[in-house]
Amino acid sequence: MKTVPEISAIHDLPFPELLYRASTVHRENWDPSDIQFCTLDSIKTGACPEDCAYCPQSARYDTGLKVEPLKEVGRVLEGARAAKEAGSTRYCMGAAWREVREGAQFDAVLEMVRGVSNMGMEVCVTLGMVNEKQAIQLKDAGCKVYNHNLDSSREFYEKIITTRTYDDRLNTIQNVRSAGMEVCSGGILGMGESRDDRMHFLHELTKLEPAPESVPINQLVSVEGTPMEHAEPLPPLDFVRMIATARILFPKSRIRLSAGRTSMSDELQALAFCAGANSLFTGEKLLTTPNPGECHDHQLVETLGMRIETVPA
């Protein structure tokens, strides 16, 4: 495992050297022309009891968000069908919950998982904390991946969330692993964290064994009403440095260019693909905030002469 100074040294390489190394690792492990399209569906929106300072779905902040109860199973399956037709191979369902509680709502989520899995799509869910028993139920229903981000360094995390701990996060990831699901875990950049925090964040991710199969790298979407509404975005080239470093540290994982793409130029996204990003969220919306949309992403992939991955890897 690499130390923080070693990770830092990779991150700070001369830019062309960093890109060359990341791109070499990328093509040794993946077809660099392929890009995975994933679709997000917010199956339960807003009114979350947690106080994550970046999140428009926390009940603590007035963001003008329309709160919506758990979606009906049929509507979720309709969304999954449409996403499949638009080229997505992974459907990721997110709920603004602190944790999963057993009962009718969880049973409905299990039904959604079964339904989407039967369509031949990879199913991913992100439902907050889960215990081992719940993780096994999800796995048995056909859930392939669980998304639970470390989000930042341990030190910075404590400044932005008070309602749960970093170790709570690690526990859930452990439960997901024990149940035999894949782990999707990454973080958010541009929350006002230091460069050091970003190095420690990557280091924490490398401590997960085995490595997470996907690493989503989100650029903060600063939402009015949240404590981070005025956060300074990360300089674009520093964002690319993080993608490239993640690619080098996680050669066999998917590196997902996640939230924040509406404020990125096509050129920046192309650079991120050259640095090893090989997955994105497509559709008009992420969970609650805007996303470039299918039309734009199909065009981007075409312009770059790349290919949308057609079968789940």
Q: Which is nearer to ligand SF4, 48 or 280 (CB)?
A: 48
258 near ligand DTB, judged by CB under 6 A: yes
- Residue 58 interacting partner from ligand DTB, ligand SF4, ligand SAM, none (CB closer than 5 to 8 Å by kind): ligand SF4
How far is it, in rounded angstroms, from Cα 42 to Cα 48?
A: 13
Residue 48 annotated among the catalytic residues of the structure: yes
| Least distance between ligand SF4 and beta carbon 7 (Å) | 25
Is residue 188 near ligand SAM by the rule CB under 6 A?
A: yes
Q: Known catalytic residue: 143?
A: no
* CB nearer to ligand DTB: pick between 6 and 229: 229
- Looking at beta carbons only, is 23 or 185 nearer to ligand SAM? 185
What mask of x and - would describe binding to ligand SF4 in positions 122 to 151, judged by CB under 6 A? ------x-----------------------
Catalytic residue check, 295: no
Q: SS3 letters for the chain?
A: CCCHHHHHHHHCCCHHHHHHHHHHHHHHHCCCCEEEEEEEEEEEECCECCCCCCCCCECCCCCCCCCECCCCHHHHHHHHHHHHHCCCCEEEEEECCCECCCCHHHHHHHHHHHHHHHCCCEEEEECCECCHHHHHHHHHHCCCEEECCCECCHHHHHHHCCCCCHHHHHHHHHHHHHCCCEEECCEEECCCCCHHHHHHHHHHHHCCCCCCCEEEEEECCCCCCCCCCCCCCCCHHHHHHHHHHHHHHCCCCEEEECCCHHHCCHHHHHHHHHCCCCEEEECCECCCCECCCHHHHHHHHHHCCCEECCCCC
Instruction: Name the minimum Å distance from CB 107 to ligand SF4.
Output: 21
Query: Is 274 one of the catalytic residues?
Result: no
Using CB under 6 A, which of the segments 45-53, 64-72, 191-199, 209-217 binds ligand SF4?
45-53
Q: How far is Cα 304 from Cα 301, in angstroms, rounded to an integer? A: 5
Interacting positions 211-230 with ligand SAM (CB under 6 A): 218, 220-221, 223
Q: Is 92 a catalytic residue?
A: yes
Return the number of the residue (30 or 157) whose C-beta is nearest ligand SAM: 157
Site for ligand SAM in 245-264 (CB under 6 A): 259
Q: Is 93 in the site for ligand SAM (CB under 6 A)?
A: no
Closest contact distance (angstroms) between CB of 241 and ligand DTB is 19
Q: Binding of ligand SF4 at residue 48 (CB under 6 A)?
A: yes
Please identify every residue annotated as catalytic.
Answer: 48, 52, 55, 92, 124, 184, 256
Binding site for ligand SF4 (CB under 6 A): 48, 50, 52, 55, 57-58, 96, 98, 128
